[in-house]
A and B are shown apart, each in its own frame.
Chain A
Amino acid sequence: MDFTFSEDELLFRETIHRFLATEASPETLRDIWSGDTDASTLLSLIAEQGLSALSVPEEQGGLAMGDVAWSLMTQELGYHAIPDVFANSAYVATGLLTALDDSVSQKAELLERICAGDLGFAIGHSCSPLVADADSADTLLLQHADELHLLGAADVQTVPNPSIDFSRRLAQVSWNANPETCIVSGEAGGKIWNDTFNRGSISVAGQLLGLAQRMLDLSVEYSQQRKQFGKEIGSFQAVKHQLADVAGKIEIAKPVLYRAACSLENHHPLSDMHISQARNFCSDAAALAARAGIQVHGAMGYTWEVDLQMYVKRAWALNNTWGDSIMHRARVQDYVLNSDIDHAPSNTFEAV
């Protein structure tokens, strides 16, 4: 029993944090949000660091990083509000492609492309009518019942649907499912889509937790500077207690996220439930961080002027991405109440 990260994993996180703090500053994000630039410059910088290769298997030249280490990475992606396409390509799509049977002819080539820095992957799952980055992707992995279809940009029509998170590029996708584009079907397809959904969900969970921490940090900083009644507003208990509650939601969510990541990596029979549980805790943290953050910022919190707004809106958007919050709550509730499981204290780590 060892519920900790290795020194290497923690050092890796520290390195990523420093890199993204420089390259994905709020000013950079603001340029992307305002449409002055697209995310491609930032994504190229990230790819140049070799980060696209993190979870690509060693056979294709990658680092084969597992879900446990990714639970640190996704928190950093959330903290720095890195646009969707990176996590969806380098983590979720990579996981999907890695799970394909070696007999799928495109598998090795696609993984090699990701390893080399191609972050142009979009994934369409039945949990949402919208596909992130579908209109700029060069490769689309789309669900049709249990089937997995692989399509190129030319094979689909997209209709952009703008989001309140201006860094998101959501689109409806029209396409025709035919035998030539289908690369997996039946039970194998169902399993791949279930795993992909779980990986997408936990990716969002980590990002929500990172976003919560960012919103808390911004709110703490603001309440240390802003003065009313002759003193910093952070000295008032009414402000302190709101932010302490955010810190509480963040701290309790961490171990839930890490256990879910460990379950996913090790194919634990309760992975589905553990991941939804992580989503619930991370969602709660992000939702409270957003609400308290706006409140602590006062009228400034209701403006486009403060950096807080980008992280708040991204948290709201991600809350219902890769499974909406109702679905994740229902999945845990169904396990807790409707199974015939005896929830003994000794069963926390058992595959009951």
Chain B
Amino acid sequence: MKLQFSPEQDAFRLEVRQWLAANVPKQKLPTYDTKEGFELHRQWEQKLFEAGFSMVMWPKEYGGRGCDLIDWLIFEEEYYGAGAPGRVNQNGQLLLGSTLLDFGTPEQKAHFLPRMASSEDMWAQAWSEPNAGSDMANISSKATLDGDHYIINGQKTWSTRAIYADWAFGLFRSQPGSERHHGLSFLLVPLNTDGVTIRPIKALDGEEAFAEIFFDDVKVPITNRIGDDGKGWHVAMATAGFERGLLLRSPARFQQPARRLVQLYRDNKAAADRDPAIAVAVSKCWSDAEAYALSAYNTVGRVNNGEKIGAESSLNKIFWSELDLLISQTAMDILGATGELLGSATLAQEHAYWLDAFLFAQAGPIYAGTNEIQRNIVAERMLGLPKK
């Protein structure tokens, strides 16, 4: 055990820090859940890509930098520490990207990954359906094989930023009469294809953050399938594992708000200390965020030693989503009577940051598999409790 960075790692950190200091927009970009904000975030992604900082842990040939996971953690610390923009294409880059690296054909990787790294293609997920939420194996959208194409019919929902995206990826029932997790295929669908209709859904903050996607005889070439026909569940589960685990929510994503929360407390100490529970909560938020960072370094070390991470990723997801709630709730408590203010309000200072954080934190225990499902996974796969 050696908890010190190597000179090379320190040098990489410095390089990232200097580049971010020179390039992170001084003015916060508008939310990527609006058309304007989405495009500005796409431009930021292109800038990151040109500097080689878009997907640092991908191989160079696919637009990455060939870094290991420790370097990725370092990058994330610098990225969030600098207050850089949110990653608008993360569902593609982190979830589908990882899946393509593991399951894609050489042609698929060569075609899709660099365009994803540069955000030339923006991706939305198409997992959930009206009757397949937590019960994802209940998927009924069909993909009927017809020569060298699939014909897709059905409906997907909760598809994040789909009204702005270029592509969607998801599971479709390709084997007629199949049930549950059998007979599904993992398909990539261009959203500008005939027969695709996208209807936005306003999220809690009023922005059109996600959408329903309707498929009406949509033709997709079989070369857009990842993995074998009917084996999509296996591929998707690997993707869900990445999502729950480390990649989507690196520790720095919580350490930065915890740092801001400590500052918020210090700036409002007299008011906050009227209730000693606030100081306790602030301390716990910081300590939990650091614990998540320690856990990440430990996990990465074990992965580097060849260990497989299983149901543990479900514990990660529960932990960071509950931490996010505690951080933003505590901030709202400290802001008190002005906590409800929108960023446009006269008295608002950093209120928009905390209100956005508070609203989005409400989604954490739900997306990427509800925390109830995660607890079932832990109980059944990690502890060995009976399924029924």
Contact = CB atoms under 8 A, between A and B. Distances in A.
Given A4-B298, A235-B388, A348 B1 contact: no
Contacts, number: 168
Given A241-B376, A348-B297, 19 more contacts: A1-B5, A2-B1, A3-B3, A4-B1, A4-B298, A4-B302, A220-B383, A237-B376, A243-B385, A244-B374, A248-B378, A255-B291, A281-B287, A329-B280, A333-B280, A343-B259, A344-B81, A345-B252, A348-B294
Contacts of A247: 315, 378, 382-383
A75 to B, nearest CB: 15
Contacts of B6: 1
Interface of B: 1-6, 9, 13, 17, 70, 74, 76-78, 80-81, 251-252, 255-256, 258-259, 262, 265-266, 279-280, 282-283, 286-288, 290-295, 297-298, 300-302, 304-305, 312, 315, 318-319, 372, 374-376, 378-380, 382-388
B259 A248 contact: no
Contacts of A193: none
A211 interface: no
B378 A345 contact: no
Given A224-B385, A235-B385, A259-B3, A3 B298 contact: yes
Nearest to B377: A244
Contact of B279 (A2, A241, A251, A333): A333
Given A4-B301, A252-B319, A349-B4, A244 B387 contact: no
The interface residues of chain A, by DSSP majority, are classed as helix
B385 A258 contact: no
A259 to B, nearest CB: 5
A222 to B, nearest CB: 11
Contacts of B262: 336-337, 343
B239 to A, nearest CB: 22
Nearest to A4: B301
Contacts of A336: 262, 282-283, 286-287
Contacts of A216: 383
Contact of A281 (B265, B291, B298, B374): B291
A237 B374 CA distance: 11
A258 B70 CA distance: 18
B297 A345 contact: no
Nearest to B314: A244
Contact of B380 (A223, A240, A346): A240
B363 to A, nearest CB: 20
A234 B383 CA distance: 10
Given A235-B388, A344-B81, A349-B3, A255 B379 contact: no
A333 B283 contact: yes
Interface string A308-352: 000000000000000000000100110011000011111011000
Contact of B287 (A5, A220, A280): A280
A3 B380 contact: no
A342 B355 CA distance: 23
A248 B318 contact: yes
